[in-house]
Structure 1
């Protein structure tokens, strides 16, 4: 066969053999879903429905190396007589999930992150919104094995609004060096900071928290780094901090105040983090957040940031996704534009590794919407697929779709 004839044939064959993409979603009705995106025809379908992860599955975290998904259950409160759970699910070669182990956890788990100790041992940290706590577990989890650590928080003075009647950690995430875990506490107006201790234990030590403006209600944050070597940092006691990046900035979205705060972050001699606020901005076109609307999730790729906005009805009957640009000089952000979330209450969204697709988890409409992203410009573009996943929820309640992740 001539090369000229062979090339079109190989192109067709490659397209035909393109592997489908898998996603996983949780629904507050007690179900975890496997979704399959056919990249040939952009068809998104439910390929597995699994009753697992307690009564209120709320968040999924994937360990791609071990092919394990960890699912947090939001059941329970700060009352010690109630509790939630943590479930591990094995990812089969075809993308299906199979329950492996379940262990009891503090109630109200809403977010988690996997981290490593110095010897490579793995652990998971969980933010417990309703449980007013942060907990950690050694991985892999085993049935009925207790938490490694539990940090319980008491609010001595109520916040600005009724939602701040108690401590409400809403997220846990790592700094760029993998040395610290941070947790925005919506109820206490704090960004809690923990250092991962040296050695194999995986235990956390509390650092000074960052006070956030009263009534802000910090919900989610994301780090940005220039990726340069920061090995010149001296006098720091925690070994992994010696590999700290050069310039590091934090972008924090506040649910109650409707703002985004920008911080310059430094690694101090004390072995903890220091923060200097450089900007407060409303992450919405025109600089005014609509009444009743709240920022939810924040992510970035390079110098482009994305924030999902709940209940703004910017593209009625759908809510909005806002695109922001980061200034390369001072790290400040400006709003570029907004696009439809293709559903109501976009609680969460995830960008695939290729940077060309974004999956949006709309809680109240209980759908997963996949849209195109231009890797060059960062623009969010056309709809690829929208799929109903479970029954719709009611705005303002813990019902409907709760999370979505890519299998990558």
Structure 2
């Protein structure tokens, strides 16, 4: 009862604090985590608080809205890193709760397992070619439950990017029974069965993508008829793959995926250059978005975001247009719950751009606010701005 009252009180304070504006949470590869205040009525965007504690190279944030808790993943490639847990105060500032040591090079993470789907956390380690699981809550004494390592017999078709397996994300399917791991290096979407009570993972047959796709992130969505689709953002080929999702008929089976469409982020019949690479995928309403890094479609250091219409019955994609990302190397992209604004994190330009979104047409633009958060990144470097998400209670 006390915990329920505390949670309700915090939610009330959070909602009150956002009456006059919106909050965003941002990480920078140089170390700090920021809370931003966005005021739509004045088009102002400013830093309201700053903290540290997520190791040397914070790269990804996971927000547990109900618990007002944030998890931050450290991409440090120096042989060690941290997994940090923060409490969100009523003003959306972050208070470090605990940090656990990790092997480092984590590029993504999310919660899974347990009765509520939030009893464990999984991290994806890019260069070690591993995923690692931990029990929650995080403490300084937290140790891995399980570390799964991946290998491949030979480099892939893009040996500069596919020298070995590179898991780039880990998240559950809508049922919470399976973990999905896009592997950029191996051209695979790895699937694991989850033991909800122990957090242990058991490998299922992996799903091959097209050669040199380089799966990075992914999302699930149901069609109007209730059929489940999986959308894979392919970093190397700058495309989105659409998959039919099939669940097993018995508890001994596994979730499976069947590729039914692949569409370039630059439209039918077009491809990105080898120097261009996709970064983030989001869905809002009937539209899917994919960010393109280093295409400079809209001018010097002005990259693009692809917009697709999702078919209501078959879930397939129709390319709509490219729109300005208002930054260079848009690594992170997030849409607010109302579908009225999008936040774009320019990695190299180290900026957060806020653009309007038309919830009916899915169109993005114009730019309504922008902030630069120093230091600026370097071309092709793992520096600059790493992630941005909305904090909506």
**Structural RMSD (CA):** 1.9
Q: What whole-Å deviation, never above 9, does each CA across 1:95-146 have from its counterpart, x for those lacking one?
A: 1111110101122111111223136652211111122111111121011310
Partner of 1:211: 208
**Alignment gaps of 5+ in structure 1:** 1-14, 229-245
Q: What is the CA-CA distance between 1:279 and the residue it aligns to? A: 1.0
Relative distance call for 1:16 and 1:96 in structure 2 (3 A) is closer
Find the partner of 1:186 among 184, 187, 204: 184
1:401 aligns with 2:381: no
Partner of 2:170: 172
Show the 5 A alignment for 1:45-64.
Answer: 45-64=46-65
Partner of 1:41: 42
Q: What whole-Å deviation, never above 9, does each CA across 1:53-110 have from its counterpart, x for those lacking one?
A: 1110000111112211111000137xxxx22210111111111111110101122111
Moved beyond 6 Å, runs of 4+:
none
Q: What is the CA-CA distance between 1:215 and the residue it aligns to? A: 1.7
Show the 5 A alignment for 1:8-407.
Answer: 18-76=19-77, 82-118=79-115, 122-161=119-158, 162-198=160-196, 200-226=197-223, 246-269=226-249, 270-285=252-267, 287-291=269-273, 292-317=275-300, 318-407=302-391
Relative distance call for 1:16 and 1:95 in structure 2 (3 A) is closer
Q: What whole-Å deviation, never above 9, does each CA across 1:169-211 have from its counterpart, x for those lacking one?
A: 111122121221101101111101112214x222222111111
Q: How many residue pairs get matched?
A: 372
Please give the alpha-carbon distance, in whole angstroms, between the structure 2 residues aligned to 1:319 and 1:333: 22
Please give the alpha-carbon distance, in whole angstroms, between the structure 1 residues aligned to 2:18 and 2:120: 36
Please give the alpha-carbon distance, in whole angstroms, between the structure 1 residues aligned to 2:66 and 2:381: 35
Q: Which secondary structure state, in structure 2, belongs to the residue aligned with residue 183 of structure 1?
A: strand
Q: Give the alignment's TM-score, normalised by structure 2.
A: 0.90
**Alignment gaps of 5+ in structure 2:** 1-15
Q: What is the CA-CA distance between 1:252 and the residue it aligns to? A: 0.9
Please give the alpha-carbon distance, in whole angstroms, between the structure 2 residues aligned to 1:227 and 1:204: 32
Given that residues 111 and 118 in structure 2 are in contact (C-alpha distance below 8 angstroms), is that contact kept between their aligned partners in structure 1?
no
Please give the alpha-carbon distance, in whole angstroms, between the structure 2 residues aligned to 1:350 and 1:139: 26
Given that residues 277 and 292 in structure 2 are in contact (C-alpha distance below 8 angstroms), is that contact kept between their aligned partners in structure 1?
yes
Q: What whole-Å deviation, never above 9, does each CA across 1:358-387 have from its counterpart, x for those lacking one?
A: 111110100011111111221112112111
Relative distance call for 1:120 and 1:188 in structure 2 (3 A) is closer
Q: What whole-Å deviation, never above 9, does each CA across 1:199-240 have from its counterpart, x for those lacking one?
A: x22222211111122222111111111377xxxxxxxxxxxx
User: More displaced, 279-288 or 296-305?
Assistant: 279-288
Q: Which secondary structure state, in structure 2, belongs to the residue aligned with residue 187 of structure 1?
A: coil
Q: Give the alignment's TM-score, normalised by structure 1.
A: 0.87
Please give the alpha-carbon distance, in whole angstroms, between the structure 1 residues aligned to 2:240 and 2:149: 27
Given that residues 76 and 131 in structure 1 are in contact (C-alpha distance below 8 angstroms), is that contact kept between their aligned partners in structure 2?
no
Relative distance call for 1:16 and 1:204 in structure 2 (3 A) is closer
Q: What whole-Å deviation, never above 9, does each CA across 1:310-354 have from its counterpart, x for those lacking one?
A: 111011120001110122232221110111000000011011111
Given that residues 117 and 196 in structure 1 are in contact (C-alpha distance below 8 angstroms), is that contact kept between their aligned partners in structure 2?
no
Please give the alpha-carbon distance, in whole angstroms, between the structure 1 residues aligned to 2:18 and 2:191: 46
Please give the alpha-carbon distance, in whole angstroms, between the structure 2 residues aligned to 1:97 and 1:189: 37
Please give the alpha-carbon distance, in whole angstroms, between the structure 1 residues aligned to 2:371 and 2:292: 20
Q: Which secondary structure state, in structure 1, belongs to the residue aligned with residue 205 of structure 2?
A: strand
Given that residues 223 and 229 in structure 2 are in contact (C-alpha distance below 8 angstroms), is that contact kept between their aligned partners in structure 1?
no
User: More displaced, 363-372 or 381-390?
Assistant: 381-390
Q: Report the structure number with the largest CA radius of gyration.
A: 1
